[in-house]
Chain A
Amino acid sequence: MRLQLMLLALATFALFLVFARTAHAQSLAKIDSRSGVYQDTDRTTILTTNIAARGQSGRFGVTARHLVDVISSASVDVVTAATGRFHETRHETEGGLMYKDDVRTATAAYIYSTENDWTSSTGVASLLWDVDRHNATIKLAGTYVTNDVGRSGDATFRRKLTVAGGTAGVTIVASPRDLVDLGYTLSLLDGYQASPYRFVAFRSATGLGLAPTVPENDPNTRVRHAVTLRYNRHLFTDSALRSHARGYLDDWGIASVTAGTEYVIGFGAWETAAFVRGYAQQHATFYKATYDTAAQYMTADRELATFVDAFAGARVGWRKPKLGILDELRFEVKGSGFVFKFFDFPRLQLRSGVIAEIAMGVAF
C-alpha cells in the first residue's frame, strides 16, 4: 500500500514535470532531501530521511514527499514493559496540489503514514490570501486525521483515533524590517489516546498488598487550543532575528508555553544561524507520578507530566544560484542539543540528546 502510494506520488510528480517543462520555459521544480540522526540518553536512536519535491507551472503546482524514520529504542517505557530493545521503521508519504495567483495560494495534500503498530491518513488544506497590497496575509487551514492504533504482535488489538483541526491566522508586514504572524489552532481528538504498552500501578482501596497494575486509560476526547506569535526583525545589512512564542491549553488540564529565537546572518552565498527554544508544561489533571488509589483515568505517559525542555543549536547553509543546468544548489548542516527535565516522572527525571542533520536541495 505505502509503496503504491509512493510510486503514485512520484509518478504524478514526474508527469507534472514533463508537462510543466513542455508548457513553460519558466517552470520551476525543487527537490530537497534532509537526513538526520537523533540520539538521546533514554537509549533511543532515530535515523530520519526526508525527500520532498515540488513543481510549479504557471498557477498550478504539485508536491510530493517521502519520509523514513528508522527507530531503535530501549527507553524507560520499553524496559518497564519487560521487553527488549525494539527496532521499527515508519514510512510517511505525502502528495499535494497547489494553486497560486497574485494574491492567493491554495494547497491540498494527503499524507499516509505507517509503522508496525500505527497507521494514519491525513488530509490537509490551506488558503493564504494577500490583502492590503500584500502587506498582510490571511491564513485558513484545516486538517483531518484518522489513525488506526494497534499493538505489536496482537492482531486483536485495534483502536481508532480521529483528529480534526483548524488554524486561522494573519501575517502582517509591520514595516520594511518587521514581520508579525499571529495564529490560532483548534484541534479536536476523539478515540484511543493511551498506549497499549503502558501500565499504571496504584494503591488499592484496602491499602493491603503491593500496588496492582492496570493498562493506562486516558479520556477519549480532547480539545486543544494553541495561540502562536512569530516576529521577524531584519537587523543591520544582512541579518535577522526570528522569534516565536506559543501558548497552549487543553481540556485535560495541560497548559504550556513555548518561546524561541533564532539569529540569522548572511555572508553572500553563506548563511549561518544560532537558535534556542524553551518549553514549559503543567501536567494533565489526571496525571500522577504514583496513584494512591485507583482513578477513572490513569496514565504513565511522561508527555502528560510537568516538564520543561530546552533546545539550542546552530546551522550553516550555502546557496549557489545558476550553477550549470541548475537554477540553484543549496546545502545545510545543522546541529542541536536538548535537555528535558521531568518534575514528576520518577523513572526518568532527565533526558538529553543531540540531533544532527544534513540537507541538500536543487531547483531547476
Chain B
Amino acid sequence: MRALVFASIASAALALSCQHGLDAPRAEAALDEAYFRCKVQPVLAKSCGAFACHGDARRYFHVFARNRLRIANVEKARNATLSDEERAANFEAARAMIDTASLDDSLLLLKPLEQSKGGYFHRGAEIFGGGNVFGDRAEPDFKTLTAWAHGAKEDPTCVEPGSDL
C-alpha cells in the first residue's frame, strides 16, 4: 500500500514537473514535389552527390543520383533512371533541412554557402579546398534552392532533366 502511495505521488510529481508539448510533432515545410524533381534534384546531383561527398550512404544527408549513389547498390543498374523511392528519399532529405521557422536560415541553403556570405561551416569545402558550393547568394543554383524553400511551384508534368535519356 505504501509503495502504491509513493508511486502515485512520484508519478504526480513527474507529471506536474514536465514541460508540456516536448513530444509534439514538428511542422514540415509544404514544398512542391515537381519543382524539386525538375529544378532542385539536378542541383543536388551536380553539386552535392559526388561519391566522396553526399553520394555516400554513411552521410546523414545523402543524395541518390544516376551513376552515383543508388539504393540498389548494383553496378549495372547504376545508370538507371531514379526510382520513385529514390526521388522521394531525396525530396524528404532536402525537406528535412528546411527550417520552417526561418526559411532563409535553412541548412539546405546555408551549409553550401560561403561563410563570408553568411553561410555555415562546411567540412566539404575544407577537405576539397575548392571553396564552398556557392560563392554567393546570386548564383543561379542557390537561387533555385531558395525559391524552392520559399514555395516555388513547377508544372507537375515537368520532366526531370536527364531522366528521359
Interface positions of A (Cβ within 8 A of B): 81-82, 151, 153-157, 199, 201-202, 204-206, 208-215, 219, 221, 223, 225, 249-253, 255, 284-286, 293-298
Contact = CB atoms under 8 A, between A and B. Distances in A.
Given A208-B85, A208-B92, A209-B92, A295 B58 contact: no
Contacts of A294: 25-26, 28, 96
Q: Which 6 A-B pairs have the closest CB atoms?
A: A209-B88, A209-B89, A154-B121, A208-B88, A212-B96, A294-B26
Contacts of A215: 107
Contacts of B158: none
A204 B28 contact: yes
Given A156-B121, A250-B17, A209 B91 contact: yes
Nearest to B89: A209
Given A156-B115, A209-B88, A293-B25, A249 B13 contact: yes
Interface residues of B, number: 38
B25 A285 contact: no
Contacts of B25: 293-296
A204 B95 contact: yes
Given A82-B59, A295-B25, 20 more contacts: A82-B58, A156-B121, A157-B121, A206-B88, A209-B91, A209-B92, A212-B92, A214-B97, A225-B17, A250-B17, A285-B23, A286-B23, A294-B28, A295-B23, A295-B26, A296-B22, A296-B23, A296-B24, A296-B26, A298-B26
A284 B19 CA distance: 11
Contact of A199 (B17, B60, B126): B60
Among the interface residues B22, B88, B89, B115, which one has the most CB atoms of the partner chain A within 10 A? B22
B104 to A, nearest CB: 16
Contacts of B96: 202, 204, 212-214, 294
A221 B107 CA distance: 23
B2 to A, nearest CB: 16
Contacts of A199: 60
Interface of B: 10, 13-14, 17-19, 21-26, 28, 56, 58-61, 71, 84-93, 95-97, 107, 115, 120-121, 123, 126
Given A208-B85, A249-B13, A153 B123 contact: yes
Nearest to B87: A209
A252 B23 CA distance: 10
A252 B10 contact: no
A253 B14 contact: yes
A284 B22 contact: yes
B17 A251 contact: yes
A199 B62 CA distance: 13
Nearest to B13: A249
Contacts of A252: 18-19, 22
A253 B121 contact: no
Given A156-B115, A223-B17, A213 B121 contact: no
A253 B22 contact: yes
Given A151-B121, A255-B10, A294-B26, A219 B19 contact: yes
A233 B22 CA distance: 43
A77 to B, nearest CB: 13
Contacts of A214: 96-97, 107
Nearest to A249: B17
Contacts of A251: 17-19
Contacts of A211: 92
Contacts of A206: 88, 92
A205 B30 CA distance: 11
Contacts of B23: 285-286, 295-297
Nearest to B94: A212
15 contacts: A154-B121, A199-B60, A205-B28, A209-B87, A210-B71, A212-B61, A212-B97, A213-B93, A214-B107, A215-B107, A251-B19, A285-B18, A285-B19, A294-B96, A296-B26
Contacts of A209: 85-93
Contact of B92 (A204, A250, A297): A204
A250 B96 CA distance: 29
A249 B121 contact: no
A284 to B, nearest CB: 7
A286 B24 CA distance: 8
Contacts of B126: 153
A219 B17 contact: no
A81 B95 CA distance: 20
